[in-house]
Chains A and B, each alone.
Chain A
Amino acid sequence: MADVMKIATRDAYGQALVELGNERQDIVVMDADLAAATKTGLFKKAHPDRFFDAGIAEGNMMSIAAGLAASGKTVFASSFAMFAAGRAFEQIRNSIAYPHLNVKIAATHGGISVGEDGATHQCCEDIGLMRTIPGMVILNPADGPEAKAAVRAAAEYDGPVYLRFGRLAVPVFNEEKVEFTIGKGKVLREGADVTIIATGLEVNEAMIAADTLQAEGISARVVNMATIKPVDKDLILACAAETGAIVTAEEHNIIGGLGSAVAEVLVESGKPIPMLRVGVEDTFGRSGPALELLDLYGLTAPHIVNKVKAVLTLK
């Protein structure tokens, strides 16, 4: 197998910020003492006058970002997902989302693939938290090019956006200039028996799973659901009607994230179909190499294959 290029979506985020900063003077970036890890450090180097470090004070950073946005700036505020969505939840809700301000909460180190830092830093609850905030847009790109496109789409959108990026370098499968439309999922591979709706690094796992399934005579459609809110209802319902079974795959607690969003759409359609969820099974993570953890917590392609086989028995 030829070597696949890998890049962490956080790296793509940092690169996209620099480009945006070159084009737009209203772009301001904040961090909370993690600029080297979140990659906002790239922006800091390129545009030092428009970078502000709040120090280790995520809640304060979010409210300051709100004040900047209320004064006409488009602000990207970064920390790890745990401390952005988790620690600063209420500042995001009250200072940013309630007045619908133009702050992009760009959270890196989402999910279990944070690896060795362990459970305190592995945030598998962020999407659930952000989904409950009225008007919040949630983007979870799957690879480097899509991450860059998502950053651009977020900057062009007027209002609060939560972006989730990963620490781990993941395979690049999109073209460099991939299109990104907020609220639209993408069918990456056609299939007739089942649809795997995946997000983030699970999209690549879903593609591998579809190959395995094809070899066993199962035709799996793969959807990249990079926007989790507002979720692409039309596409979910079309997949339900056309393939009759759905498996969701996300690097997040199975409660509150993509699986929940898809289930809500299916149940409320009045035509529910068999559906199963791949995700972190309502448990905390632990320290270990990212790839080992992804397997241990049931997030790699073989686990998706098993869920697909299980869902087909429910059809």
Chain B
Amino acid sequence: MFSNFDFGVVFGSLPYLFGTGMVFTVTLTALAAGMGVVLGTLLAMARLSGVPGLKHVAKVYVELMRSLPLVLVIFWFYFLVPYIGAYLTGASRPIQVGAFSSALITFTLFEAAYFSEIMRAGIQSIPKGQTGAAYALGMTYAQTMITVVLPQAFRNMLPLLLTQTIVLFQDTSLVYVLSLTDFLGAASKVAQRDGRLVEMYLFAAVVYFAVCFSASFLVRRLQRRVAIIR
């Protein structure tokens, strides 16, 4: 069946695929996940704050992001970020934003909505007595969140946060629509150049599968270990 396929093209392009493509994908995933969790946690706290304006803004933001396809959001920010940059810097024309920065901003803002839902559930899962005890000891809201609530919420939610990060790792392949050179983008470029679509896409699928399958396996093992002794 595969007799007239040439998998040699894969080996020849390995340095490009991993040295350029996979580095892009992993860097984008790690940075967007880190910043997304921080922003998502702030959004979750805002939604649970009970402060009228703040609460609603956070809710609308999260719900809006979650109702849009990622592809559309990628296009949105690709065109919007230069204008926002111009607005922020006071420039009269849209400013040039690098492809990587644009993608990073997009994925951070998009994934923050999903991370925020996870952190919201995590914060709500902490019994009310815990915050009561922290307040009773004289802690302020910030101290209560930082020393009591968030560490527990984060720990309880770690498996879900990591699973969402694996989803993010897969989602970054959609920068293909901006012709960026992430792992899939690199594979696609080689595929077009050498006319070897079958080999390159199959190889990409195998690599993604291997990475994501092992990562989710590790997350499942972690899940069994992090459960806090109560």
Same complex: no
Q: Which residues of A contact B (CB under 8 A)?
A: none
